[in-house]
Amino acid sequence: MEKKILIAVDGSIHSRKAIEYCIDMCSIIKGMHYVLINIQPKISDFLIQESNIDPQVKAGLKEIADKNHRHSIKILDESMEIMIKLGVNKKLIEKVSLPALKGTSKEILDYAKQTICDAVVVGNRGISKFTEAFTGSISNSIIEFTDTIPVWAVGGDVNSRKVMLAVDGSEASLVAVDHAAFMFSGNTSIDITLMHVTPKLRDYCAIDFKKDNDMMEEIIARGDKLCIESFYAHAQKTLTDAGLKKSQIHILEVESRISIGRTIIKNIKKHGCGTLIIGRRGVNNSFFMGSVSSYVITNAKNCAVWLVP
């Protein structure tokens, strides 16, 4: 089955890394078809209004738009050339240049929805929300506002094909498993590790109760064990139904000694994983920004994080 992958490119080193990651993944993901997309710079609404009444402004605006379009096509052509040189068949690559009528991130996400893309790939600068306020990171905006399309955020040089799927027994984790099953369907050689970080009381509440902590920790541990064991069975069935063998699926459980996000990052490095798949919301339905997913996206180095909404 064809997998339609939308790669956002802007000529930067970050988008180059995203391209290289996608090409490397074609060895373990069957049927990848690529769409390179570049969004032209947004033109001032004031200039657009003035162009309706001033012929000179209208002429100047057309010149700006033409330059933006030519530059966008140049970026797409160069990105396509990189892919061809790295061995991708030209027939598997499409190019799309669009003006930013509603903003760059919205144009990309809207196009992904309209053309039914299976994932959007962006180069991840690994910056914080504080930094983003000053840089206006497009990749972070796409990651934040996607609501139906999985986003693959590629941070740096990804040199490993090992895949880790962070799970917590939630519905969001089931959706992440479904995405992994679809992408790796029919692959009989890749290994996928289902990693579960056993939660602590602090992961649910920042208040230090002092008394009865042991009792609360025990209740959380019992509930988590019941939930995750049922989840493992469902996840394994979903992956084997997609053509993977049971021997390809591994389970890793680790304690949350510091925080869930930091524990995930630590284990990505420890086990040499190049791809981490994670759901957008957890068992407590916490929103993405400021949650585990946000921490992982920001701090993952030389790793691609698949955020599945």
Q: Please check whether the two domains, 1-157 and 158-309, share a CATH topology.
A: yes
Q: What is the pLDDT of residue 171?
A: 86
Q: What is the pLDDT of residue 212?
A: 52
Superfamily of 1-157 according to CATH: HUPs (3.40.50.620)
Do 278 and 265 form a contact (C-beta atoms < 8 A)? no
Q: What is the pLDDT of residue 198?
A: 81
Alpha helices, DSSP H, located in the chain: 13-25, 45-51, 55-85, 104-114, 129-135, 138-145, 171-183, 213-241, 260-270, 292-299
Do 106 and 143 form a contact (C-beta atoms < 8 A)? no
pTM: predicted TM-score of the whole model, two decimal places: 0.86
Do 86 and 20 form a contact (C-beta atoms < 8 A)? yes
List the domain boundaries for the chain: 1-157, 158-309
Q: What is the pLDDT of residue 298?
A: 87
For 158-309, CATH gives 3.40.50.620
| 188 CB neighbour count, 10 Å cutoff | 10
Residues of the chain with pLDDT under 70: 44-48, 125-136, 199-227, 281-290
